[in-house]
Amino acid sequence: MILKFLAIFLLLWKTSPAEKARFDGFSVLRVIPKSEKQHLALKQLLRNSQLEIDVWRFPGFVSQSADIQISPKHFFKLNQTLTELGFRSELLIRDVQKLISEQERKNKGVKETAEVFNYGKYHTLDEVNNWIDNVTKFHPNITSVFEVTKSYEGRTIRGIKISTGDGKSKPGFFIEGGIHSREWISPATLLFMAGQMLDRYTADLRIKQMVDSFNWFILPVFNVDGYEYTWSKNRNWRKTRSKHGLCVGVDPNRNWDYDWCKEGASKDPCSDMYCGPNAFSEVEVKGVADFIMKNSKGMKGFIDFHSFAQLWMSPWGYTTKLPPDFKDQDKGSQLAVEALEKVYGTKYKHGSIANTIYVASGSSADWTYGAAKIKYSYGVELRDTGKYGFLLPPEEIIPSGTETLEALIALANYVVNN
């Protein structure tokens, strides 16, 4: 633990507060455990703080790949250790900084005017908030702004509600993005889908039916502090920005008060899967949970959008045991991924969270299903499967939004009828 704190101190000392973290020469390796012995050894290795590993994709079980970001300083040592453990590694990304710079360059090249919002671009938090203000002013009869709470650093967490008619007798459907701040494709996809729901409402019968069936609560950026930090300081930041000793941040998808901080979460404040000092310690998580619970009486659907892996998943996350509603939940997942695949051929897997990706306790979907009693609760991992990881180029935003919207239409129709 002393070595871990020393490494963190040196990292902070080397990088002044005004500088933005760079990842020159950092690479991403993929390894696949072939046995339970290898799987356990890999999980132990990924906890080695001296290697300063950043896990992009966690190894849930045998035969499932793990994607590991490693610095040039520790590249040889990691490869040597993997070889000794019997692994064969695949180089997924040669230079992380080159991908970051390319994403930034392409994003700056996307044309946008003050009058026209370009959904094919990644947007800052300020730009997202401006979009919320503008779109609700442009569609005053069916949209309104909702505010959840203030973040740890004092930012307002905001979303839009889309509701047609009087809305009083309609069930609710809550969708959120950006709970993990570096997963930029998540907020971008939600913005695109919300824009389509409004722009095509009068022209597309399927959109109209979907919109009319629910009161839609759309929260594009959940982890506002972390998201802002990915733009200003560290593109790879995942957690919130609360302070915990020498370390910063809690994994907001391990902080929910449902089987909190058991398997698939960490009590180490320096871990990217740190569950927090207690359940709902993060004001962002507690605020969203309170908002959902306040509106949960009529809430029928919930989706937490993440990246990456191309998975459509339902509870449970904390255990591989299946809940009593799994058959109905998974049917919704199946219909969603089938509709999604028809657009561009993008293939998603579906199943329960723990059996599809890994065991993760204290997650949003477990809480909304187990505590808020929202039967159709899901966690979705958007594009891609590892070529770009969290650094998808902006030209993939609209395709991601287009195919995901088809999945949402299919799922919403299923939920209405079940």
Catalytic residues: 381
Q: Are 255 and 360 in contact (CB under 8 A)?
A: no
Q: What angle do CA 43, 45, 46 make, to 5 degrees?
A: 65
Burial status of residue 83 (CB atoms within 10 A of its CB: 0-12, 13-18, 19 or more) = exposed
Q: Are 311 and 183 in contact (CB under 8 A)?
A: no
Instruction: Count CB atoms within 10 A of the CB of residue 365.
Output: 27
Q: What angle do CA 252, 254, 258 make, to 5 degrees?
A: 120
CA-CA-CA-CA torsion sign (215, 218, 222, 225): negative
Distance (Å, whole) CA 67 – CA 83: 16
Question: 147: which residues sit within 8 A by CB, 6+ positions away?
Answer: 156, 157, 158
Residue showing tokens 């310690």: 281
Bridge partners, 70 (sequence order): 27
Q: Are 55 and 272 in contact (CB under 8 A)?
A: yes
Bridge partners, 301 (sequence order): 173, 376
Return the amino acid letter for 310.
Answer: Q
Distance (Å, whole) CA 173 – CA 159: 13
Question: 44: which residues sit within 8 A by CB, 6+ positions away?
Answer: none
Question: 213: which residues sit within 8 A by CB, 6+ positions away?
Answer: 170, 171, 412, 413, 416
Distance (Å, whole) CA 36 – CA 32: 11
Q: Tokens in use for 136?
A: 């609700």
Instruction: Count CB atoms within 10 A of the CB of residue 11.
Output: 11
Residue 278's Cβ-side half-sphere holds a number of Cα atoms within 13 Å equal to: 3
